[in-house]
Amino acid sequence: MNAPTPFHLLALFCTLLLAGCAAVPHQTAPRGGSWIGNVPPGEEHLLGQTRSGLDVLIARDFDILEGKSTGLIVNHTAFDRDNRHIIDVLHEAPNVNLTALFGPEHGIRGTEDYFVDDAVDQQTGLPIYSLYGENRAPTAEMLEDIDVLVFDMQDIGTRFYTYIGTMALCMEAAVENGVEFVVLDRPNAVGGLRVEGAVVEEHLLGRPIAIRPLATRHGMTVGELALMFNEEFGGIGVDLTVVPMDNWRRWMYFDQTGLLWKNPSPAMKTMNGAMLYPGFGPSMSTTLATARGLDRPFEKYGAPYMDGEAVASNLAERDTPGVRFVPISFTPTAPYHRYQDEQCHGVAAILYDRERVDPITAGLHMMQAMYETHPDEYEPIPRFPTIIGNEDVWPMLTEQGMTPEEIVETFHPKLEKFRRMRQEYLLY
């Protein structure tokens, strides 16, 4: 065998280099940055080190709850770093008097996907009052012997996810009944830097999915939102304490915190689903299914009447950085939801770069492609304007034929005003 020449060695080196590059997922630095992924230089040591408000409260030996009858607004996501649930932590703390539990949509255990009834917690014997059934906020009778309400739930950073609406309604009930309010802060699962989408119009406000005029992707933690709710939009004025996190930064996504992911709701099973939700979630208020009951809800979209190949072909002609679409068939299994046990055809949204993706614009592209492919079958249901935050979006997207980029441009004046207001309440 002849010895390799310098040319052969160079060719071999280039081949290995290209193969190595192909194996590395594409990463794009945010505007103005040059760091790896989204982690700023010098902050790598913070990865995996976040301590939630609950962890901080434990370290403080529950000082703000001592001697007070405590009600807990909570679900299954409220764990500390040692994987102990807050109900057990507070129930076992000798200086905390936990007297009642209040459950949001999906219930205390996060398993319900419809209205929730009152119950009794089998572990502690405490009453569980449902805030997603006959009542959406605690009544005066429920709060009669309570000194302080504590809120601890993991949110995903989208205005129409109902937990922050529940928080606002509980704050109002607290001030009406002379009860203090404490928020144990947790990360915004999709990061705290980007603020996107429509600021919901005033005449659409009032339901937990549109409790205040927020941007769709608000970029705030629940603690920061509580501070804003207490002062802005007419103010609530409750006696409020926010227990901040340690070692959380606005650039962090949930999977960079070191905290354990617990599906915040039955259909929110993945970080990719959470990342897409601000822009793709409104499609659940149209005549399609979102793969509820399956492994990756909010990443798959379709209906029995839909031609997935045609929709994917339409989307392939569009500019949707960070996400691509492939045709797919699936059968939703979740009870009470559209097309349960019917085979649906549509597209899967494949998120490959969360720094580049614009979920609001990409979601509008998907809906427009579905409408152009099925103009007679694909349409909104009545709550679509409330979910998306603007009643003009559907006409602009369909009969007016505006591009998603043009539609998003119409959001900017109110969005900039919201960004300025938001700045005053940021803790991190």
Q: Can you give the pLDDT at residue 4? A: 45
Q: Can you give the pLDDT at residue 223? A: 98
Domain boundaries, the chain: 53-261, 271-410
> Average pLDDT, stretch 19-27?
34
324, β-bridge pairs: 350
User: What span, in angstroms and rounded, lies between the C-alpha atoms of 209 and 166?
Assistant: 9
Tell whether the model's pLDDT for residue 27 goes beyond 90: no
The pTM for the full model equals 0.89
Q: Can you give the pLDDT at residue 89? A: 97
Average pLDDT, rounded, for the chain: 90
Q: Can you give the pLDDT at residue 109? A: 64
Write the DSSP assignment of 315-359 as a string of letters: HHTS--TTEEEEEEEE----TTSTTTTS-EEEEEEEE--TTT--H
Tell whether the model's pLDDT for residue 65 goes beyond 60: yes
Which strands sit side by side in the sheet containing 148-152, from one edge to the other?
Answer: 119-120, 127-130, 97-103, 69-74, 148-152, 180-184, 240-243
User: What span, in angstroms and rounded, lies between the C-alpha atoms of 331 and 341?
Assistant: 6
And the tokens for 244?
């901040």
Q: Can you give the pLDDT at residue 20? A: 37
Largest pairwise CA distance in the chain:
91
And the tokens for 426?
């940021």
Looking at domain 271-410, which CATH architecture does it have?
Alpha-Beta Complex (3.90)
* Confidence class for position 2, pLDDT limits 50, 70, 90: very low
* Confidence class for position 28, pLDDT limits 50, 70, 90: very low
More confident call, 103 vs 107:
103
More confident call, 27 vs 93:
93
> Average pLDDT, stretch 282-289?
96
Nearest 10 degrees: Cα torsion 357, 333, 303, 115? -80
Looking at domain 53-261, which CATH architecture does it have?
3-Layer(aba) Sandwich (3.40)
Q: Can you give the pLDDT at residue 21? A: 35
Contact 381, 337 (CB under 8 A): no
pLDDT per residue as tens digits for the range 221-258: 999 999 999 999 999 999 999 999 999 999 999 999 99
pLDDT per residue as tens digits for the range 183-212: 999 999 999 999 999 999 999 998 899 999
More confident call, 18 vs 76:
76
pLDDT per residue as tens digits for the range 369-390: 999 999 999 999 999 999 999 9
Tell whether the model's pLDDT for residue 426 goes beyond 60: yes
Q: Can you give the pLDDT at residue 123? A: 87
* Confidence class for position 113, pLDDT limits 50, 70, 90: low
* Confidence class for position 104, pLDDT limits 50, 70, 90: confident
Percent pLDDT > 70 in the chain is 90
> Average pLDDT, stretch 103-131?
79
pLDDT per residue as tens digits for the range 299-349: 999 999 999 999 999 999 999 999 999 999 999 998 878 999 999 999 999
Q: Can you give the pLDDT at residue 292? A: 84
